[in-house]
A and B are shown apart, each in its own frame.
Chain A
């Protein structure tokens, strides 16, 4: 039978995106050269690796884990102990390779815990990961030699000789180390999605029953993915150990696991870019949003809920959906609905956030001034006026929003109908 020749033009967009990514990583410290900027960039780097590793589990293989921080954290502990061993002279290992040590540590625990947890799948798997997470977090206080008790284990990242003048003392050098590992890990994890195991992982996600009937032991597939994901999580942990010079029980705790889950899902688990976006939002919220408002966990939680309900593909899926509309040159039809709904959303947003901020201010103001600035306006938390005003604004906003939402979904539906018509003829999904 004649072999079909497939013509695949070089996907310029794809290669440009990768190039842009690497270039951006290279020049970012020149743009954001402040200390805060470098710290944030470094943190984003480590979190992206963790989020992508989590996506291997959830987005690629459909495994919801509530205890993924365990692998990153344990990898971090192993890395930090290794660093201390190097400093003490009993181990030889260049600092640049410490993340690899963390990765191997993570993978080691991935094998142990992975074997246990992948015996079951689905919701049961999720519950087991919760149990393991709690187990490790509780164990953290029971084995102070390894976990350092409440305070954790500290280290100094400037160890050994400086090679080529790189001692990893300055934050900028640490940033470049992180970026280098980031590029390696992103390429590796992306490549994984295009291997047989990576594709079969997708199959397991979509239909494990069917997967068994094409010859695969789905449990083995899930186990292997856990180990690989744990490896990358461990690298992230190792980088964190270098960056912060401390690892504590917090790194394996439920809060860390939960945050990883929340932000990765927020960014978008169906895609490769989603988790990267999620990681950026994570660090931004943690470092920057937290300085603007005390209520930031609440806002993030509400955003998360909205995403799960209305855009389960995450923020990136929202971007993608709009990009698709633009590609079909139908965005003009959405301009007005967008404008309307954003205008309606504004009072709703202002009202609710003001109420929340007022409540926080009242909560924390004990003994301080009763007057706070919200949205630039001074408000007296003890008087009824601001509360009432905010409430009224919120209610009006809600009513307006409901009206606008109806129009918006109509327009949205219409646009997608047109797209569906246009693609049906081609027999190809656009």
Chain B
């Protein structure tokens, strides 16, 4: 029996009203690999993420997580099955401290659920897990700061921290380095590399150096379809991809 893929998209379609945004997308993401999704603006990358994470329901087609169909599941149910995502526009708990943000991220997975009879402070494993992630994302000295007061790059780092803290195996990162400077991006890439060690990563990105630095495979999405899915070198040389980005067939891409 073969090991199921981490994520599989089968002929996925999504229309908003009369406009079809995703037109039959197919994708196979095996466990333990880092995938980057690239494509021109408006191609539907964020929509794909929203479909996979349960924010939207597909019009038709299937989304499989570890072989299970995600149809009709709500976001928190999908999260409990081992998929966690970050957001393009920073989505943190702005009135809670950095540490509390991370602690919230681990509570459910540690089994504390809806308990109102236990004191938070006494939960040693939650504290320890949160502190580990805090260390990892490099925000230890900001641990008591309200998250809303962090700098942009710090918030992005926290965003990634919250995404991975719960221990999900499949991580979706939506433009993690958006708006960052070169050095901040490099820093973020290192962080992503560390936290996704041994996990499955699906990442939407525009910054090509990030993509080529991190990704094992690249999926190119154009007009709601995956037109290519291959290793970085082969995708670079793919004529269809060049056409999509440049508009006309090119003889070769400059190195």
Contact = CB atoms under 8 A, between A and B. Distances in A.
Interface in B71-100: 74-76, 79-80, 84-85, 87, 91-97, 100
B144 A429 contact: yes
B128 A216 contact: no
B94 A212 contact: no
Contact of B91 (A198, A207, A220): A207
B119 A199 contact: no
Interface stretch (A170-178, A189-197, A244-252, A316-324): A189-197
Given A428-B144, A429-B149, A199 B100 contact: yes
A272 B136 CA distance: 33
A202 interface: yes
Nearest to B102: A214
A101 B89 CA distance: 48
Contacts of A195: 115-120
Query: Which of A202, A203, A214, A427 has the largest count of B CB atoms less than 10 A from its CB?
Result: A214
B93 A196 contact: no
A53 interface: no
A196 B118 contact: yes
B11 interface: no
A313 to B, nearest CB: 11
A200 B123 CA distance: 14
B146 A214 contact: no
Nearest to A195: B116
Nearest to B144: A428
A209 interface: yes
Given A207-B91, A213-B84, A200 B118 contact: no
B116 A224 contact: yes
DSSP majority for the A interface?
helix
Contacts of A217: 74, 76
A228 interface: yes
A210 B92 contact: yes
B90 to A, nearest CB: 10
Interface in A193-241: 194-200, 202-203, 205-207, 209-218, 220-221, 224, 228
A3 interface: yes
Interface in A403-429: 427-429
B18 interface: no
Contact of A215 (B92, B123, B146, B166): B166
Interface in B122-167: 123, 128, 131-132, 141-142, 144-146, 149, 162-163, 165-166
B145 A214 contact: no
Given A196-B118, A206-B95, A216 B76 contact: yes
B145 A196 contact: no
A210 B146 CA distance: 16
Contacts of A3: 128
B202 to A, nearest CB: 14
Contacts of B85: 213
B104 interface: yes
Contacts of A205: 95
Contacts of A216: 76, 108
A214 B115 contact: no
A31 interface: no
A224 B114 contact: yes
A197 B75 contact: no
A61 to B, nearest CB: 12
A298 interface: no
Contact of A200 (B107, B109, B146): B107
A196 B92 contact: no
A377 interface: no
Contacts of B173: none
B93 A215 contact: no
Contacts of A428: 142, 144-145
Nearest to B163: A213
B92 A198 contact: no
A112 interface: no
B115 A197 contact: yes
A4 B127 CA distance: 10
A214 B116 contact: no
A212 B91 contact: no
A217 B80 CA distance: 10
B121 interface: yes
A1 interface: yes
A195 B165 CA distance: 19
B200 interface: no
A199 B163 CA distance: 18
A206 B114 contact: no
A194 B146 contact: no
B75 A200 contact: no
A214 B162 contact: yes
Given A191-B119, A429-B144, A210 B107 contact: no
A63 to B, nearest CB: 15
B12 interface: no
Contacts of B123: 196
Given A207-B92, A212-B74, A215-B76, A199 B116 contact: no
A196 B115 contact: yes
Contacts of B119: 191, 194-195
Nearest to A1: B132
B107 to A, nearest CB: 5
In the A-B complex, the 3 residue pairs with the smallest Cβ-Cβ separation, listed nearest first, are A215-B108, A197-B116, A206-B93
Interface of A: 1, 3-4, 191-192, 194-200, 202-203, 205-207, 209-218, 220-221, 224, 228, 427-429
Interface of B: 53, 74-76, 79-80, 84-85, 87, 91-97, 100, 103-105, 107-109, 112-121, 123, 128, 131-132, 141-142, 144-146, 149, 162-163, 165-166
13 contacts: A195-B116, A195-B118, A197-B115, A206-B92, A211-B76, A213-B85, A213-B163, A214-B84, A214-B162, A215-B80, A218-B76, A427-B142, A428-B142
